[in-house]
């Protein structure tokens, strides 16, 4: 049975505080880094993130490239009170419904991975079951599409998923174009508080941190080191 709307903590609301929200990610491997933490104790990891001041947690459920599973999301939901983002290659409405049943507060949808009509369907499906949709973009065209569909959460991925190259300039270019009423998230390439501040100055409300935290020997301390940067809104317009 699907959870009732409102029975999981809000994702967007957790990222609208005075400070830049840290979305701490759990993953065992990735195409860009290979094996990161194959023996990851997921329950202990997410509790460390929570203790370190993370605003939300991203859980990779994709098995082939990232070593994740739906069970990881279920365990994370049992282990912490923070909102959870289900991160996977979501291309079908049934996956959105599944994310809600598993206890996610939000699900990632990559704009370039689906046709515009399908992106609209996925956002609508999320609204139908009170699951927030984080639309990931990499360029101005994808941003315009996301905004035309009234996306309220937009992530800018600094990693090119085709070449796996990392370019922080992607967020620095796109974030200022996101209206202030939309929660803007910088994804990938965050290793220090200085990186968080750089993205905050460009307009980030939150940052998503993956490999740096998943592979950390002391994840609580690393998470804490990334918190405390004040949101400024950058040059974003209302």
Catalytic residue set: 25, 27, 87, 136, 157, 187-188
Q: Helices 93-102 and 116-128 meet at what angle, rounded to 10?
A: 30
Cβ pair 47, 143 in contact under 8 A: no
Query: In the Cβ-directed half-sphere of 127, how many Cα atoms lie within 13 Å?
Result: 11
Instruction: Give CA–CA dist 78/56, Å, rounded.
Output: 14
Instruction: Give CA–CA dist 72/109, Å, rounded.
Output: 19
Cβ pair 133, 126 in contact under 8 A: yes
């Amino acid at each position: 049975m699907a959870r009732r709307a409102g029975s999981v903590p809000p994702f967007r609301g957790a990222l609208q505080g005075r400070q830049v929200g840290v979305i701490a990610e759990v993953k065992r491997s990735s195409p860009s880094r290979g094996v990161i933490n194959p023996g990851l104790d997921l329950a202990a990891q997410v509790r460390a993130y929570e203790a370190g001041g993370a605003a939300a947690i991203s859980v990779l459920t994709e098995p082939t490239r990232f070593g994740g599973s739906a069970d990881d999301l279920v365990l994370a939901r049992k282990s912490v009170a923070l909102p959870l983002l289900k991160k996977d290659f979501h291309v079908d409405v049934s996956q959105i419904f599944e994310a809600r049943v598993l206890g996610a507060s939000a699900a990632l949808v990559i704009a370039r991975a689906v046709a515009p009509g399908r992106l609209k369907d996925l956002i609508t499906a999320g609204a139908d079951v009170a699951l927030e949709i984080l639309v990931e973009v990499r360029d101005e065209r994808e941003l315009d599409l996301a905004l035309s569909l009234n996306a309220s959460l937009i992530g800018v991925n600094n990693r090119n998923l085709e070449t796996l190259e990392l370019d922080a300039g992607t967020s620095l270019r796109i974030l200022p174009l996101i209206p202030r009423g939309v929660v803007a998230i910088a994804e990938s390439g965050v290793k220090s508080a200085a990186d968080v501040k750089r993205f905050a100055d460009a307009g980030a409300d939150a940052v998503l941190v993956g490999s740096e935290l998943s592979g950390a020997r002391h994840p609580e301390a690393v998470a804490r080191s990334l918190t405390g940067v004040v949101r400024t809104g950058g040059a974003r317009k209302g």
